[in-house]
Amino acid sequence: MPFIEANGANLYYESHGDGPAVVFAHGAGGNHLSWWQQVPYFRQRYRCITFDHRGFGRSVDPRSMPAQQAFPEDLRALLDGLGIDRAFLVAQSMGGSTCLGFTTAYPERVLGLVMADTTGTIDDDGLREQVRAFRDSQPAPFTLQGRAYNPALGTSRPDLAFLYDSIMALNPPREQPGTPPERDTRHVATAARRAALAVRILFICGAEDAIVPPSVIKYASTLFPGAGYFEAPGCGHSVYFEDAPTFNRTVADFFEAVAKAASA
């Protein structure tokens, strides 16, 4: 089984296909298996890298809980270990902290960034207020339980809902995080860094997302010059899983547009 050592953690990864590299970073409800609908589609033209964040799937974290603050440097170690200089990054939910944090610190290594149902490491007062207002509007206390995908999926596609829950159950048990340690300032997407960032970014959101609603994701997209925004109808917090054909086409079109602009 392929593993790479990253800052004291052993990261499990898989590589499929050839071509420009695409790294898929899963959310807190998933692991490398979450991308089973993306890898067969993209491996025809790209080298697809999936991995387990530390403390998820097969990746062992020596601490009692995964340290999200370590994720961007874990990604750097993964790319270095695989000899990949530049890659497209596709981030789902929690993976947004990984990929935007990495992009902020190492923009020269990112061909393009997809931020799916996530705001990542953005530092912005207006964004924080929008998130706070949304959560205050929800029944207290606000929890993530039952919000990973549109509840309607359990009726329309019970097979998909069952598979999502089964993949999530493969993750080892984790303690609930307490007060997080200070984030490495290199990974914080401040206003100045956002304004200077030349990497093309596409934000994707499910129209029924009950964790990070469209209004928040759409606002986040306006914080990056030239960033795109796509809203998937009928989907909740996991567009890539709930409507893979739409997600895959949207991301593929974005990759092609980035490549075309780079060659112009």
Q: Which domains does the chain have, with CATH numbers?
A: 3-174+185-259 (3.40.50.1820)
The whole-angstrom separation of Cα 106 and Cα 147 is: 32
Taking alpha carbons only, the member of 220, 227, 177, 219 closest to residue 198 is 227
Element housing 91 (H / E): strand 87-92
- Between the alpha carbon of residue 139 and those of residues 129, 142, 156, 194, 238, the distances in Å are 18, 6, 25, 34, 21
Using alpha carbons only, how large is the chain's radius of gyration in Å? Answer: 17
* Amino acid symbol at 176: Q
Residue 11 has pLDDT above 70, yes or no: yes
Please state, in angstroms and rounded to a whole number, the distance separating the CA atoms of residues 96 and 108. Answer: 18
The more confidently predicted of residues 146 and 65 is 146
201-238 pLDDT, tens digit each: 999 999 999 999 999 999 999 999 999 999 999 999 99
CA distances from 99 to 63, 65, 168, 196 (A): 22, 20, 21, 17
Are 57 and 12 spatial neighbours (Cβ–Cβ below 8 Å)?
Answer: yes
Burial of 169 (0-12, 13-18, 19+ CB in 10 A): exposed
Phi, psi of 21 (to 5 degrees): -80, 140
Percent of the chain with pLDDT over 90: 81
In contact, 96 and 212? CB cutoff 8 Å: no
Q: pLDDT for 38-60, tens place per residue?
A: 999 999 999 999 999 999 999 98
**Which residues, at least 6 apart from 95, have a Cβ–Cβ distance to it below 8 Å?**
24, 25, 26, 27, 53, 71, 118
| 142/145 Cα distance (integer angstroms) | 9
Average confidence (pLDDT) over 150-154:
94
Judge whether 92 and 27 are in contact, CB under 8 Å.
yes
Taking all residues of the chain, what is their mean pLDDT, rounded to a whole number? 92
CA angle 203, 177, 80 (to 5 degrees): 55
176 pLDDT above the threshold of 60: no
Residue 137 is predicted with a pLDDT of 86
Categorize the per-residue pLDDT at 179 as very low, low, confident or very high, splitting at 50, 70 and 90.
very low
Predicted confidence band of residue 181 (pLDDT cuts 50, 70, 90):
low
Among 66, 86, 87, 102, smallest CA distance to 188 is for 102
CA atoms within 13 A on the CB side of 212: 26
